[in-house]
Amino acid sequence: MKKRGIGIGSIMYGTGYGNGFPDVSKAVAELCIDGRVAIYVGATEVGQGAKTIMSQIPAEILGLSVEKIIFICEDSSITPDAGTAAASRQTYNTGNAIKIAAESLKEAILINSKEKLGLNTIIGMELKNGRVFVSNFPTKSISLKELAQSLDGNPLKREGEFIAQTTQIDVETGQGAPYWPYTFSVYGVEVEVDTKTGIVEIIRAVCAQDVGRAINPKLIEGQMDGGFAMGLGYGIFEDLNLREGEIKHDRFSNYLIPTSMDIPELEKIIIEDPESTGPFGAKGIGEPVMLGVAPAILNAIYDAIGVRINEIPVTPEVLLRALKKSMI
């Protein structure tokens, strides 16, 4: 017999290392000789889209297209430390460091352009599409390439550093503010449970994700799709089968992961409530988009068959065993 049920799973997640651990990101912005801007940062791209949004941030500040940003990362010999690609911290932490570096470089560009143009102040000067100009006298201008080539081999370069606010929890009282900011997410799923085979099928799913502010909505949707797939595998597929310290399911023929055929259409709802300390209000969502999936599935299974399962993954064997136990 096939039975259907609906479940909800909601989470809150603290961004960064937390609990007072120093959480520092550094970045460098440099005006190149051809008028483009190079961003040096130790942030690692692991498929979350870091290279894209971390190019968008300086492009927005400097009035450039993303194509005019040279993003240099993952080379520790020339890039400053930006911490790990973990704890959903890169968009918030390193995004802030890049924003600070780009803002500092913009100020240096305006000051140097003022001198080249013979102006007496940077007030009213703008930087857009690779040119610095006076807003009420646009022909009074200089291109970034012209400016860079006038610096006699001493390129403008500025560093940005961002340190996240975090305090250690009092071990006696449990009180403290270990993280800043927090991110919120909720999943809803409908499942169909086959009580003869123990197979759980996800019929449909929806995710509402707090992102602070969406710097790149398409990448956010991609992270939501990826997080849902990982949460689905965590909830009903991926079983290491650990026995006395030995992993029995040590190959993909017996360690099952979800395929595209197992993933239903996911309705994605982006919730924007800009975080005042984030770069343009953005938060990180790497882990948050995954955490609520398994709880939502287990709640839906309970709604479908009336049996509460307290372990994951809910493989067919686990589900049939729980059903049998409930009948005793």
- Give 131-197 as a DSSP string: EEEETTEEEEEEEHHHHHHTSTT---EEEEEEE----PPPTTT------SSEEEEEEEEEEEEETTT
Element (H, E) at 55: helix 50-62
Amino acid at 89: R
Residue linked to tokens 């239903």: 264
Residues with catalytic roles = 287
By residue count, the chain amounts to 328
Q: Measuring CA to CA, how many Å separate 101 from each of 25, 170, 225, 244, 283? A: 11, 35, 32, 51, 19
H-run or E-run covering 27? strand 24-31
Query: Which residues 6+ apart lie within 8 Å of 244 measured at CB?
Result: none
Residues contacting 103, CB < 8 A, separation 6+:
61, 160
The C-alpha angle with vertex 201 and arms to 200 and 202, in degrees rounded to 5, equals 125
DSSP 171-189: TTT------SSEEEEEEEE
